[in-house]
Amino acid sequence: MKNIIITGAGDGVGKAIVSMLKSENLILVDIEKDNVEAVAKNLNQKAFVCDVSDTKQVKKLKEFVIKTFDKIDCLINCAGMWTKGEISQLGIEHFAKINDVDRVKKLIDTNFFGIVAMINEFAPIMMKQNYGQIININSQSGVEVEEFCPIYNASKHGSYAYRKAIQRDLAKHNVKITDVCPGLIKTNFYVRANDKLPEEIMCLGLEPEDVAKTVLYVLNLPHEITIPSIEVRHIKNY
């Protein structure tokens, strides 16, 4: 059985990944206490409440992981936040609210610095044990420039570039890293950001389980085979 840490595990894609990997030893991490504890209890797994944008909380998570696992096989970074809105739309109340500067900072701290914080804490452990795997749930916004969501693009491009910059160094220590870059997904990701999308758009989304299956595929490859990044989207969502 593999020892796996999954952030953003209480809902959406993270929850689907947890369900797909329920036969492994998991530590489910999420900022929402009720959600993550309910999922963990249902699957008889361990939960840890943590805001990945808070470095002190991430360090406490590391202490918990070290006490729980004798080794770490995989870290799956799935925690994230959403926003959209072009500069010309900031005079509109809805876009001004979801792009408030403090919220933008929180988004970047979660989508980019959260991944950096998690990797900074757990990659050295994997490198020391000379084995490990990191999977980041990125986005099509990490490989394309979409004018309607510049801030979200910036956060996802940042983590994509970071992964590319560190993958060779990690590989020297037998640690793999992959960006899984899905398109639109049918979750409440957008509702949580107070930006519910129209049904005619949401119907073109992937199911969370589709992304989870992609993660499972990457995870189950022979260790000498690595996929730096993989895109997945609904056939009608181009």
Predicted pLDDT of residue 104: 97
Q: Is the pLDDT of residue 25 over 80?
A: yes
H helix runs in the chain, sequence order: 12-20, 33-43, 55-68, 93-98, 101-108, 114-129, 150-171, 189-192, 199-202, 208-219
Predicted pLDDT of residue 236: 87
Q: Which one, of 177, 185, 157, lies nearest residue 218 by Cα?
A: 177
Q: Is the pLDDT of residue 71 over 80?
A: yes
**Using one digit for the tens of pLDDT, what is the confidence trace for 99-116?**
999 999 999 999 999 999
Domain positions in the chain? 3-232
Mean pLDDT of 195-220: 96
Predicted pLDDT of residue 159: 98
Mean pLDDT of 170-182: 98
Mean pLDDT of 185-203: 94
**Using one digit for the tens of pLDDT, what is the confidence trace for 79-103?**
999 999 999 999 999 999 999 999 9
What percent of the chain is predicted at pLDDT more than 90?
98
Distances (CA, A) of 175 to 111, 123, 125, 127, 238: 22, 8, 10, 7, 32
Average pLDDT, the chain: 97
Query: What CATH number labels 3-232?
Result: 3.40.50.720
Q: Which one, of 211, 205, 224, 149, lies nearest residue 179 by Cα?
A: 211
Q: Is the pLDDT of residue 238 over 80?
A: no
**Using one digit for the tens of pLDDT, what is the confidence trace for 26-46?**
999 999 999 999 999 999 999
Mean pLDDT of 115-138: 98
Mean pLDDT of 50-67: 98
